[in-house]
Structure 1
Amino acid sequence: MPTNFVAVAEEGSVTKGAQRVRVAQSAVSATIQKLERELGAPLFSREAAGVALTDAGTALLPEARALLSAERRARDTVDQVRGGLRGTIRIGTLHSIGARPASRGMLVIDLAEILGRFHVTHPLVSFQMRSSAQGSAGHLAAVAAGDLDLALVAAVDHPPGVRMHPLGAVRWSFVCSRRHRLADASTVRLEDLADETFIDSPPGWGNRAMTDRAFAGAGIVRSVPFEAADQDTSLGLVRNGLGVALLPRVGSEHEDVAIIDVEDADLDLPIAVATPTDRQPSAATSALLASILKAAGRRPPARRGNGGPAAARPS
């Protein structure tokens, strides 16, 4: 019963919640109605756009999540006794963490390859991979709330209840059209960009937080009329003269654009795996985390801990 309630609450829709748990919508609705009768209070308000939690539903949600976590831990305990890793790992993914071992400055991490090898070794472990419309901020909130077991994030900050396991950092550079007035510059400063029209990621994305902070620190208010969720879209807008952007050098090389270092700002974006601090990970999650850190050349974490070292550039 908590599974259906949590799924609907997180999806904001009975239909999407039913699809997530792979149960008929009518069955999910009936389960929630039964729970509401037992508790004597409505848990959702029905709206045209979906459903929203009532005060009672909001109060119940963390308790329901805790029940699901306890149930998963119980299964993990039994599975370990039976032998072999089992269970499902819920993973938050970034839109673009590329596997580019020959490229300088980009993080060397191929999640698909890691998961493929992990599946061969541990075939009884399954994965649920999710992206977030709120970028890394959405993943961090989901990890803290218990909705994800781990997540790849690009973030300069993280909320309480989350531990960051650094993987490396990606350098962002100034990118403009070859027709731009700064296209032939060897380097630029933030003040050179004060009057530019910017293309950037939506709020909540790690690189957006990084660049907003850099410009705010320089006392510059940017104009950002264009928001794009991926590097290729941003690059296309830059190439066609609609604005400038801060993007990774790798993946931005094109004959129609210039890529220029910014000399007076820290634009190294930390990349990390986020895990919760308030609950013990399953054996499968711990094993996958160790595989990811090993692939990035990092040392697996101690079994417990609340923090991690500062992110460093990969060697």
Structure 2
Amino acid sequence: MDVRQFEFFSAVAGELSFTRAAERLTIAQSAVSAGVRALEGELGVELFDRSRRQIRLTSTGELLLPKVRDALDAVNEVRDVAQETTRAITGSIVIGLMTSVTLVNVPRLLGHFRTGHRGVDVRLRAARRGSAGLVDELVSGELDLAFLALSGPAPAPLIAVRIASSPMVLVVPDGHRLASARTVTLDDLVAEEFIDLPPGYASRQIVDDAFAAAGIERRITIEVSDIGTAAEYVTNGLGVALLPEFAANDAPGVRRLPVDNVPEFTVYLAASRKRRASAAVRAFVDLALPREEPEIRL
């Protein structure tokens, strides 16, 4: 057994796809498949059930996955100790992020990080199930860090530091009955049809929680998975939307109105409390967090 076999197994387990795992690792799919097969041969067990259209972990694979990820963390710790004598940082970081959320300039941040740490391989993974999915992937060890949004306190397994926020606003078409209002209450919206994101996305949870707290039901007629496109549906007269203000700034033909009793949309940098952070992860956190924020304890 070698470390690369463990990395291949962990990546395939996270993606449940040899193709996506190979793309994530930036190597040939044949190498990933061969590495996993070799690991299964050395262990004398099957780690994946390949009999279905989508592969699944076997019961043995589920049992071994946390141990393999612990072993990879231990290898990173050995690397960190060795690098302390040279002050060079190498390794890899897998970072999750939300699509179309521009409150954090991730490309610029990554550019600065690469300039100072060319020996670190940074891989980005877009959220497939909103912030709820990013939380799950942090807890499972598939991600080292994530830029995510939360409705309410951070889940107990995570440590999260606030990075940026945006007020939630009601987006309505020009000419809507509320377009000239100075502020809007949730009671004003009972009769409206809403465009929103699917469950699991933080902006959806913020709005669902606000309506639930007010004891008001609402009708969601269209769900979109990209927060950056939601306001376009409002532009075309298909409903109204409660969105973070940044997501509607460029939409034509709409009005953005303040809404009472809806919390802000807040982006956090989050990590698992359980996993030991590598030197590469700590270096990224030091760069990403504003100086005035308390240090994230990783």
Same fold (TM over 0.5): yes
* Alignment deviations for residues 245-283 of structure 1 (CA, whole Å, 9 cap, x no partner): 0123335245511111112x1321221100121233122
1:101 match: none
Does structure 2 conserve the Cα–Cα contact (< 8 Å) formed by 1:173 and 1:267?
no
- Is 1:163 aligned to residue 167 of structure 2? no
8 Å CA contact retained: 1:201, 1:230:
yes
Counterpart of 2:175 in 1: which secondary structure? coil
Structure 1: give runs of 5+ residues left out of the alignment: 99-106, 305-315
Deviations 1:154-205 (A, max 9, x none): 1124333210111232111111111322222222111221222111112211
Tell me how far apart the structure 2 counterparts of residues 92 and 216 of structure 1 sit (CA, whole Å): 29
Q: 1:78 aligns with which of 82, 97, 110?
A: 82
For the residues of structure 2 that align with 1:155 and 1:266, how far apart are their CA atoms?
A: 13
Q: Residues 278 and 168 (structure 1 numbering): CA distance in 2 closer, same or farther, change over 3 Å? A: same
Report the CA distance between 1:130 and its aligned residue.
1.1
How many angstroms apart in 2 are the aligned matches of 1:240 and 1:229?
A: 18
The one-letter code matched in structure 1 to 2:193 is T
Q: 2:61 aligns with which of 57, 64, 72?
A: 57
Return closer, same or farther for 1:54/1:302 CA change in 2, 3 Å cut-off. Answer: closer
In structure 2, list runs of 5 or more residues that go unmatched: none
1:303 deviation in Å?
4.3
Q: Judge conservation of contact 1:141–1:159 (CA < 8 Å) in 2.
A: no
Is 1:67 paired with 2:64? no
For residues 226-265 of structure 1, the aligned pairs below 5 Å read: 226-253=222-249, 254-263=251-260, 265=261
CA shift for structure 1 position 287: 2.0
- The within-5 A match list for 1:90-169 is 90-98=94-102, 107=103, 109-156=104-151, 157-169=153-165
Q: What is residue 92 of structure 2 aligned with on the other side?
A: 88
Partners of 1:178 and 1:27 in 2: how far apart?
55
Instruction: Summarize deviations over 1:139-162 as a string: whole Å, max 9, x none.
Output: 122122222121111112433321
Deviation at 1:91, TM superposition (A): 1.3
Sort the Cα spacing of 1:173 and 1:147 in 2 relative to 1 into closer, same or farther, 3 A: same
Could you tell me how far apart the structure 2 residues matched to 1:26 and 1:167 are? 40
Amino acid aligned to 2:79: R
Q: Secondary structure at the match of 1:187?
A: coil
- In structure 2, relative to structure 1, the CA distance for the partners of 1:59 and 1:171 (3 Å cut) is same
Check the 8 A contact 1:92/1:148 in 2, yes or no. Answer: yes
More displaced 10-residue stretch of structure 1: 27-36 or 113-122: 27-36
The number of residue pairs the alignment matches comes to 292
How large is the Cα RMSD of the aligned pairs?
Answer: 2.2
Separation in structure 2 between the aligned mates of residue 33 and residue 124 of structure 1, nearest angstrom: 29
Distance 2:233 2:139 in 1: 35
Please tell me whether the aligned partners of residues 203 and 244 of structure 2 are also in contact (alpha carbons under 8 angstroms).
no
Taking structure 2 as the reference length, the TM-score comes to 0.89
Question: Is the deviation greater in 118-127 or in 4-13?
Answer: 118-127
- Give the equivalent residue in structure 1 for 2:13: 9
How far apart, in 1, do the equivalents of 2:99 and 2:23 lie? 23
Q: How does 1:293-304 map to 2 (within 5 A)?
A: 293-294=289-290, 298-301=292-295, 303=297
User: How does 1:185-264 map onto structure 2 within 5 Å?
Assistant: 185-253=181-249, 254-263=251-260
Q: Which amino acid aligns with 1:36?
A: E
2:266 matched to 1:270? yes
Residue identity (%): 37
Alpha-carbon distance in structure 1 between the residues aligned to 2:91 and 2:129:
27
Alignment partner, residue 279 of structure 2: 283
- Match of residue 311 from structure 1: none
Q: Matched residues in 2 for 1:50 and 1:165: separation?
A: 36
